[in-house]
Structure 1
Amino acid sequence: MTSGLSLADQIALELRADIIGGRLLPGMPLVEADLVRVYNASRNTIREALHRLGQEGLTRYVRNKGVMVRRLERAQVRDLFVVRRTLELQAIAHSPALTDEQAERMQNAIDATTLAREREDWRAVATHSLVFHQHIVGLMRSPLFDEFFAQVIAQLRLVFCAAPDEQRFQSPWLERDREIYHLLLQQNKPAAGEAMSLYLDDSERLSLALFLHP
């Protein structure tokens, strides 16, 4: 657990991590009694944690069913990509050269994605690729943006869960992540920004195709 946070905040962070990790999928119920037992917390604390996840757009209350992991809609997917373009392109355009620590974090995410792809663990491929993009936003060194983007990638993870063929959906992105990383290492920010822009265009197009109804 993370120190300095309330128990409700800590539980919300762990549940968000489960969403990013693909362990909680759209439509799954979050049963209060089960969470009380798992986290050894009061019902009020669990309700507060679930409320926080609802504020982050990750859960919704369904009458007669309770709280469930949220299924996103097409308009919300579009909005997520507006946010991605704003933050990721801004981070590339205005950040200084990569520090050794930043480069190592990105390389580690790419290595983890590569290993997951070799194992054909496509759920993990999606998760590690999102972590790479979290490190892109991290170039701005803004804790507020980092926290906000963690909520964004959790919602994106729910989008990717809608893909009927995870392998086909996730296969294109590793080489493109690697290209962006190498361009950043070379301090070629214009080319990195262009590669990221094309990446996001293609990712948005394929993501929207998962949601046929506007």
Structure 2
Amino acid sequence: MPGPTPSAVEGLTADRHLLARTSTADRVADVLRTHIAEGTLAPGTRLSEASIATILGISRNTLREAFRLLIQERLLTYEMNRGVAVRELTVRDVTDAYKARLALEAAGLRNAAAAEPRLLAAVHEAVAQGERAAAREEWSAVATADLNFHRALARLAGSDRIDEFMRRLLAELRPAFHVMPSPREFHGPYLRRNRVIADLLAAGDLPAAERELTDYLDNAEAQITDRMREVRDAGGPR
């Protein structure tokens, strides 16, 4: 398991201002969650309580509570005598996450005909966001837009609970994307498929949109888990 790298932990410095007014555990957890999702804090990275508390200007008690929240969300792990680390996903984790994703996103598509216009607009804006990022060759931003697209699909269900489940699920899953050797080759084709789903949604062909979504998620799961097995067989994490 890799130790903390100065650049990874010091990258939190820019977010210290977010905690200036109310240094709560929820806000601290949100900062750490974002860095985990974006890959700044990579899977397996140990999180030094002393370093992070100092960098963010918070008490250790507040940080421990934030750690507890993120452990519950399956983003961090705790081991006796080893401390807290960013969780490393297994093939089983990814397979389970994609089953949950399909259930939540399909629920959104099935409710799309009754969804509020602003929720439908968010789906199309997420696609456009990804296309703009791809034109700039900003593949991390493409990945973010992709997750925004899928969260927007789940939001069509009109359920705050589904939205919250989806937010946590995508945050947990995003580190798995970093196993792919080429972000452009991985995300590029799915960006185009996002457009297909959005167009089917706009046309009102919800059964076709759900079929495309199912195939899409099956393909993405297979790509990620196949790559994880390759890494594992080469001596990397399981």
Same fold (TM over 0.5): yes
| Partner residue in 2 for 1:86 | 103
Tell me which amino acid in the other structure corresponds to 1:136. Answer: L
CA contact (8 A) 1:57 1:155 kept: yes
Of 153-162 and 108-117, the range deviating more from structure 2: 108-117
| Partner residue in 1 for 2:139 | 122
Superposed CA RMSD: 2.1
Tell me which amino acid in the other structure corresponds to 1:102. Answer: L
| Partner residue in 1 for 2:33 | 16
Q: Distance in 2 between matches of 1:38 and 1:187?
A: 50
CA contact (8 A) 1:21 1:124 kept: no
Query: Unmatched 5+ residue regions in structure 2?
Result: 1-17, 233-237
| Partner residue in 2 for 1:71 | 88
| Partner residue in 2 for 1:182 | 199
- What do residues 88-110 of structure 1 show as CA deviations (whole Å, max 9, x unaligned)? 11221233345331233222212
Instruction: Give percent identity, aligned residues only.
Output: 35
| Of 19, 24, 29, the match for 1:7 | 24
- Could you tell me how far 1:27 is from its partner in structure 2? 2.1
CA contact (8 A) 1:97 1:185 kept: no
- What do residues 58-87 of structure 1 show as CA deviations (whole Å, max 9, x unaligned)? 111245542221110011111001101111
The alpha-carbon distance between structure 1 residues 52 and 77, as it changes in their structure 2 partners (threshold 3 A), is same
SS at the partner of 2:84? strand
Larger Rg: 2
CA contact (8 A) 2:123 2:198 kept: yes
- Could you tell me how far 1:139 is from its partner in structure 2? 0.7
Query: Unmatched 5+ residue regions in structure 1?
Result: none
Higher relative contact order (CA 8 A, sep 6+): 1
| Of 171, 174, 177, the match for 1:154 | 171
- The number of residues matched between the two structures is 212
- Could you tell me how far 1:143 is from its partner in structure 2? 1.4
- Could you tell me how far 1:179 is from its partner in structure 2? 0.9
1:194 aligns with 2:211: yes
**What does 1:136-175 align with in structure 2 at a 5 Å threshold?**
136-175=153-192
- Could you tell me how far 1:53 is from its partner in structure 2? 0.7
Q: Distance in 2 between matches of 1:138 and 1:80?
A: 17
Tell me which amino acid in the other structure corresponds to 2:76. Answer: T
